[in-house]
Amino acid sequence: MVQGKKPKLAVWKFASCDGCQLSLLDCEDELLAVADSIDIASFPEATRAFKKGPYDLSLVEGSITTPEDAERIHQIRRQSKFLITIGACATSGGIQALRNFKDVKEFISIVYAHPGYIQTLKHSTAIADHIRVDFELRGCPVDKMQLLEVINAFLNGRKPNTPAHSVCIECKLRGNVCVMVAHGTPCMGPVTHAGCNAICPSYNRGCYACFGPKETPNIPSMGNVLEDKGMERENIVRAFRSFNANTKAFQKGARDYEKD
Amino acid sequence: MKKTKIIKVDYLARVEGEGALYLKIKDKELTDVKLKIFEPPRFFEAFLRDRDYTEAPDITARICGICPIAYQMSAVHAMENAFGVQVTGPLRELRRLIYCGEWIESHILHAFMLHAPDFLGYQDAIQIAKDHKELIENVLRFKKTGNEILTLLGGREIHPINVKVGGFYRVPHREELKSLQDNLKWARDFAVEAVKFVAKLPFPDFERDYEFVALQHPDEYPFNEGRIVSNKGLDIDVSQYDDHFEEQHVKHSNALHSVLKERDSYFVGPMARYSLNYDQLPKVAKDVAKEAGLGETCSNPFKSIIIRCVESLFAVEEALRIIESYEMPDQPAIALEPRAATGYACTEAPRGILYHRYRVDEKGIIQDAKIVPPTSQNQKTIENDLWAFVPEHMDQADDQLQWQCEQAIRNYDPCISCATHFLKLNVDRG
């Protein structure tokens, strides 16, 4: 980065709910300080102002679902020194990737009266399936403190501190009683990427894996435990096939329990 | 010679989601208005099929990161309607409380960070902060008060995890809720200042004869329950929604427009809610509204920004009332048995009524889902506003006219991410 010049930030949206970019505006205590130290060059949800690229850092929200977006992401990559995906849609294809396991034509006809007008790709895919990505931040939505950490790290040329271990570790660090061991509540925590600070178990609920798979998850073992807790096969398929359905690990988990 | 002028905004800023505006002016006559939507469709109604009823609140929350509680509330009430149960007492109060949090967070985000810059001539709230730092600091603190309710009661601000069909996974102790009181009391004072501040903004002289549609409840300002009523005689149970409303295909637009079958376009959101439910507001909100120059109804959509602040004040008052009288319930959720049925619910999202309908089988597996978000209901009214607004402001410079049209669209706090799965996709980026 040029000395004395504020780094340029751009926020881009693809198929998504806007929640991950909203996380930035939800940093009520830090927002003005962030805006002081970076140049918000493009962030349509927050400002009419727009500055042309190149950008020092691009944050990308949402998944690729249309032919136009599959093109647009390449243009954004070309203008971005660093490009980070924020959230489950951009990092794994998101909840809309459920179409990947069904006939998308049938999907269109369920929602729209004139399916002919709809132009959409058969699959919803992660940004990294299309371009090189410098870092992927997980979560549906992302955790806002992790988002600040990642922005900070990239602007200062260091590696973000976002552990890749499981939600179980966060539960232990928080001192939670294990909902699965103590109450028999099915919980995806053992295979789910950390980052939320184990919110669901802290609210007496099993983790539902909105941060996607952790590094090296043991999927068959997870399936066995869920079965052991009395979960029906269809519900195990649903548990893997949700907000991060298109990840390799969860695809396998769902397939293992799907009826032929 | 006839002169044709095109005014277009390829990517509408300070709205949630991806939309564009297109105006065509031929020889000083407005000939075309299009509010285009190019947000990609995500097919929620399709993939809700074959999911378990317990998943509906978490899945539909992902339609919108700005108002996930609205989706969760409509989903749980529709499922409870299908199963023939009703949540009452403290659990019902906690649901109102979490909705208060979302109204504050969403209204203040929109009023000050997305809408106010138009009135004040700034590109965004961060630019406002350069000249009025204390104001924006207070605004952010106010917004945070809403998010604190969501975080305590829901687990996190965006896509909260604690809402379930039948109640909650975990209910707070009295002391936990009381921890919110100090900030809410500060927010009550600031909300009054906020109303006074926005009341002084310059408002275009613009009124139309709208059909306002909102929930109405005999005892309270509406969140989760009530009949669907209008100022033109509509008064129906939520289960009759589909008999009275339909989505229409219009030739000039790529969008599906929701209309009343008996009449035509209608208006949902804070201004409709206020105009139909003024009597249910607490005295302090009525007094502040009066001081701000509002009557018991309002028909100038630019003044929605004042009403959002009045409703935020109401939400703070209501939150304080609920916290004060809260007794922790014995169970975090009521027991229920799935059965084959159709369930209906309509709740008041920050942007207006949000309708959900689900048909489930005897195991509670979703067979069919229908969701009508507020923005698709306001779509036609927004375009009609522009048809009326532009001819009166034709002599302005293009960039000024364009900015005012954007402002007129932002009156509705449109959430295009919400609306998209009802709008036909247009990928022509103009």
Give how many domains chain B has, as a whole number: 2
Q: What is the C-alpha to C-alpha distance for residues B193 and B139, in angstroms, rounded to an integer?
A: 10
- pTM for the full predicted model: 0.95
Is the Cβ pair A19, B66 closer than 8 Å?
A: yes
- At A118 the three-state DSSP class reads coil
What tens digit of pLDDT does each residue of B251-270 get?
545 556 788 998 989 999 99
- The mean per-residue pLDDT over the stretch A251-257 comes to 95
Based on the domain organization, do B259 and B242 belong to the same domain? yes
Statement to judge: residues B18 and B126 lie in one domain: no
Q: Which of A12, A39, A43, A45 to mutate to test the interface with B (most CBs of B within 10 A)?
A: A45
CATH homologous superfamily of A8-155: NADH:ubiquinone oxidoreductase-like, 20kDa subunit (3.40.50.700)
**pLDDT the model gives residue A119:** 67
Answer whether residue B429 is part of any domain.
no
- Which of B44, B55, B161 is opposite residue A238, by nearest beta carbon? B55
d(CA B9, nearest CA chain A) in Å: 11
Residue B412 near residue B301 (C-beta atoms within 8 A): yes
Residue B248, pLDDT score: 73
Q: Is-cis flag, bond preceding A44, omega within 30?
A: no
Q: Do residues B366 and B337 both lie within one domain?
A: yes
b/e per residue B233-264 (b: at least 16 CB within 10 A) = ebeeebeebeebbebeeeeebbbbbbbbeeee
Question: Residue A98 is nearest to which of B47, B332, B425, comparing CB atoms?
Answer: B47
**Do the chains contact at A48 and B123, CB–CB below 8 Å?**
yes
Residues of B in contact with A48 (CB under 8 A): 13-14, 117, 123-124, 406
Q: Are A63 and A95 in contact (CB under 8 A)?
A: no
Partner residue opposite B170 with nearest CB, options A118, A204, A238: A204
By the 10 Å C-beta count (0-12 exposed, 13-18 middle, 19+ buried), B82 is classed as: buried
Q: Which pLDDT tens digit goes with each residue over B98-116?
A: 999 999 999 999 999 999 9
Q: Report pLDDT for A197.
A: 97
Cα of A45 to nearest chain B Cα, Å? 4
Q: Examine the pLDDT at A165 and tell me if it is beyond 50.
A: yes
Name chain B contacts of A118, Cβ cutoff 8 Å: 41, 424-425
Closest CA to B59 of B72, B73, B41: B72
Residue B28 sits in the same domain as residue B92: no
At A52-89, the pLDDT tens digits run 999 999 999 999 999 999 999 999 999 999 999 999 99
The CATH number of whichever domain residue B96 belongs to comes to 1.10.645.10
Q: Please tell me which of the candidates A29, A120, A140 has its beta carbon nearest to residue B62.
A: A140
**Given this model, what pLDDT does residue A59 score?**
98
For chain A, domain boundaries: 8-155, 167-257
Same domain, B197 and B237: yes
| Segment holding A82, helix H or strand E | strand A80-86
CB contact under 8 A, A19 and B65: yes
B30 plus B177 within the same structural domain: no
Q: Is B427 inside a domain boundary?
A: no
The mean pLDDT of chain B is 92
Give the side-chain half-sphere CA count within 13 A for B398: 10
- pLDDT for B5 equals 81
| Minimal CA separation from B299 to chain A, in Å | 27
Give me the amino acid identity at A113.
A
Encoded amino acid at B219, one letter: D
Pair B178, B147 in one domain? yes
DSSP letter for each residue of A132-146: --SEEE--SS--HHH
> CA of B209, closest CA in chain A: separation in Å?
31
Same-domain check for residues B175 and B26: no
**B26 shares its domain with B80:** no
Specify which residues B23 forms β-bridges with. Answer: B7, B33
Task: Verify that B14 and B161 share a domain, yes or no.
Answer: no
Question: Do B161 and A111 make contact, defined as CB atoms within 8 angstroms?
Answer: no
Q: Once rounded to an integer, what is the mean pLDDT over residues A110-132?
A: 80
> Which DSSP letter does residue A123 get?
S
Q: Examine residue B430 and state whether it is found in any structural domain, yes or no.
A: no
Parent domain of B50: 44-422
Nearest of A97, A105, A99 to residue A126 by alpha carbon: A97
pLDDT for res A116: 58
Identify all chain B residues contacting A208, using CB atoms and an 8 Å cutoff: 58, 161
Position B270 in a domain: yes
pLDDT bracket for residue B407 (50, 70, 90): very high
Does position B428 have pLDDT exceeding 70, yes or no?
no
Comparing alpha-carbon positions, the chain B residue that sits nearest to A118 is B425
A65 to chain B, any CB pair closer than 8 A? The answer is yes
pLDDT of amino acid A1 = 47
Q: Note the pLDDT of residue B205.
A: 95
Looking at the fold, whether B134 and B243 belong to one and the same domain comes out as yes
Q: Do B168 and B241 sit in the same domain of this protein?
A: yes
**In the predicted model, is pLDDT for residue B280 greater than 80?**
yes
